[in-house]
Amino acid sequence: MNSWTDKLRVVTPYVPGEQPQGNDIVKLNTNENPYPPSPEVKKVIDNLDTDRFAKYPDPTAAELVGELAKYHGVGASNIFVGTGSDDVLSTAFLAFFNSDKEIVFPDVTYSFYPVWAQVYRIPYREIPVDENYCLKVEDYLPDGDSFGGIVIANPNAPTGISMGLSDLEKIIAANDDCVVIVDEAYVDYGGQTALGLLEKYENLVVVRTFSKSRAMAGARIGYAVGGEKVIKELYDVAQSINSYTMTFDSLKIGAASVRDEKYFRDRIEDVVKTREITVRELEKRGFTVLPSSSNFVFARPSDGDAKSVFEKLREKEIYVRYFSKERTKEFLRITIGTDKQMERMFEALDS
């Protein structure tokens, strides 16, 4: 019997961290920024010409692209923007990974990568990280046959561990026959950026987001930086699906955020300071904490029973993230909040 259900694109979706509502909750589960965005963003919103919503937004996103190009010292033709880096990454998977060869990424990494591979029917292989949760460079050097593509989050999630630039360059240099995507969602908190390698490697694409260090997860802004060829390919694919992804207000507030460099740097510094305190306090309580270059820590309680710590914190309205997969099930991923929020978590842990 033929059924319409045989013709569906059956996929298992990515499950984001829960978004509980309430005033008294401590939300440390989705790596959001505990601080508000730049006050310049509020000024733009307060003065927004809402009549402008009657018209389509600028399909070239020129204002935001222009600010980002200036910020990174590249040309406008080197920047692609999308609705969050999830949109940018998804477009990149669709655009660059169009062969029969396997794309590769680590077994412990952003869990959206295998989901995009599945929905776009891209063959993929997850390469195990080593016993310290680090990527092994040699695993990413092709041994005869080439890869279909490579995706590396640097710093990695949910570990927070960053890879040095020389190791990353070895991987990119050895794979000039496929695109290498470097997802720098957390790089502002202490990683080494691959942007400097773009002049040498036209198969490299660096992806960034406004959701973490720019405190604008709700605005949905992400972008890619790369050579003209890869950026044009991203626009060709994106505009084969939807001509107007970026709303006119998000283009304006995104640009305003980029212009306010001081506020941006100051809030990063605040989070990094709180991270250092958090690591010390967790270690005092017997946790093992992986070295973090991000706005979260990946920590293992001394008995490895992360699940029950997760559940007990949740009862006290403190939300952290727990991943039940084999290699991550003994850890909690804890987003760095304000000092006050972290104190509440420590009080809960002590009781």
Ligand X SMILES: *Cc1c(COP(=O)(O)O)cnc(C)c1O
Q: Using CB under 6 A as the criterion, which residues of the chain lie in contact with ligand X when the complex forms?
A: 31, 84-86, 110, 153, 157, 183, 185, 209, 211, 217, 222
Smallest distance, ligand X to C-beta of residue 117, A: 15
Closest distance of CB 33 from ligand X, Å: 11
Q: Measured from the CB of residue 85, what is the shortest distance to ligand X in angstroms?
A: 4
What are the E-state strand segments in 161-263? Answer: 180-183, 204-209, 222-226
Which is nearer to ligand X, 20 or 304 (by Cβ)? 20
Of 37 and 84, CB closest to ligand X: 84
How near is the Cβ of 350 to ligand X at its closest, in Å? 29
Nearer to ligand X, 163 or 349 (CB): 163
| CB-nearer residue toward ligand X: 153 or 172 | 153
CB-wise, 215 or 349, nearer to ligand X?
Answer: 215
Which residue number is nearest to ligand X in terms of Cβ? 84
Question: HEC states along the chain?
Answer: CCCHHHHCCCCCCCCCCCCCCCCCCEECCCCCCCCCCCHHHHHHHHCCCHHHHHCCCCCCCHHHHHHHHHHHCCCHHHEEEECCHHHHHHHHHHHHCCCCCCEEEECCCCCCHHHHHHHCCCCEEEECCCCCCCCCHHHHCCCCCCCCEEEEECCCCCCCCCCCHHHHHHHHHCCCCCCEEEECCCHHHCCCCCHHHCCCCCCEEEEEECCCCCCCHHHCCEEEEECHHHHHHHHHHHCCCCCCCCCHHHHHHHHHHHHCHHHHHHHHHHHHHHHHHHHHHHHHCCCEECCCCCCEEEEECCCCCHHHHHHHHHHCCEECEECCCCCCCCCEEEECCCHHHHHHHHHHHHC
Residue 155 or 349 having the CB closest to ligand X:
155
Q: How far is the CB of 106 from ligand X (least distance, A)?
A: 11
Least distance CB 305 / ligand X (angstroms): 25
Minimum distance from residue 128 beta carbon to ligand X (Å): 18
CB-wise, 250 or 344, nearer to ligand X? 250
